[in-house]
């Protein structure tokens, strides 16, 4: 059975390119365009094996979402990768503190992203 990944980004091009990349590499993909929409999906019963999220998004940003996801029952240890243009060290440290598994600065080649996902996702 294919591993499920939740992609959270407000850019439609990013969502589509990530969905295409991950699908052709054998993953099943769910999408959300901000942190709040992602949380709603998780609360509705969708249980991804990994989350890839942007940081700067309208309504609810990625860092706030990471903190809230970690507080949800059953999501304490799910790998969460941030994929963002944000390169400021303070933001990275905040992401790490809130429970992000890794910090990826855009642009990241699709095959590199898949390698990182396979690295942090056991059995992928």
Partner 1 sequence: MATAPYTEDARLFSAARGACAGQEVEVASNLSPRLRKARNRLLIQTAIGLICDLLLYLALSRLLGPAFIPYSSRIAGLVLLLETVPLLAAERINWAKARQGIADLRIVGTLTKSQLAHVSARRIAMTDELHDSRPYIEVMREQIGDSLTESEREVMKVIEQIGLLIAQSKEQRAKIAHSIKSGKELTESTHLRVENNKQIIAAIEMQMQEQTGELRNSFEHIENLATEVSALTPLIKVITSIAQQTSLLALNAEIEAARAGSAGRGFAVVAFEVRKLSVLTTKAAADMAEKINWTCKKVDSEMAEAKASLQQHESDDAMTHLIGDLSGMQQDFNTNSELLLEVIAEVDASYEESVDRLSQALGHIQFQDVMRQRMEHVQEALVEMRDHMQSMSARIADFGWEGNFDHTFKQILAAHLNRYRMASQTRTHHAVAGGSSSADNSRPAIELF
User: Does residue 112 belong to the site contacting partner 1 (CB under 8 A)?
Assistant: yes
Alpha carbon 20 to chain centroid, angstroms: 15
Nearest distance in Å: CB 40, partner 1: 23
Name 77's Cβ contacts closer than 8 Å, sequence gap at least 6. Answer: none
> Of 31-90, which residues contact partner 1 (CB under 8 A)?
56, 84-89
| Residue located via tokens 């609810």 | 60
Query: Minimum distance between the CB of residue 35 and partner 1, rounded to whole angstroms?
Result: 17
Q: Which residue, 1 or 89, has its beta carbon nearer to partner 1?
A: 89
Contacts of 50 (CB under 8 A, 6+ apart): 3, 4, 5, 6, 78, 79, 80, 81, 117, 120, 121
Q: Which residues sit at the interface with partner 1, rule CB under 8 A?
A: 9, 11-14, 16-18, 20-21, 23-25, 56, 84-89, 92, 96, 100-114, 116, 119-120
């Amino acid at each position: 059975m294919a591993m499920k990944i939740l992609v959270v980004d407000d850019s439609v091009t990013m969502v589509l390119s990530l969905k295409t990349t991950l699908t052709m590499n054998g993953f099943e993909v769910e999408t959300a365009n901000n942190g709040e929409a992602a949380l709603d999906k998780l609360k509705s019963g969708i249980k991804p094996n990994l989350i890839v999220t942007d940081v700067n998004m309208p309504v609810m940003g990625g860092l706030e979402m990471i903190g809230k996801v970690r507080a949800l029952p059953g999501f304490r240890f799910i790998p969460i990768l941030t994929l963002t243009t944000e390169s400021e060290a303070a933001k990275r440290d905040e992401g790490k503190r809130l429970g992000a598994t890794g910090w990826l600065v855009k642009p990241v080649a699709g095959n590199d992203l898949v390698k990182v996902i396979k690295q942090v996702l056991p059995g992928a």
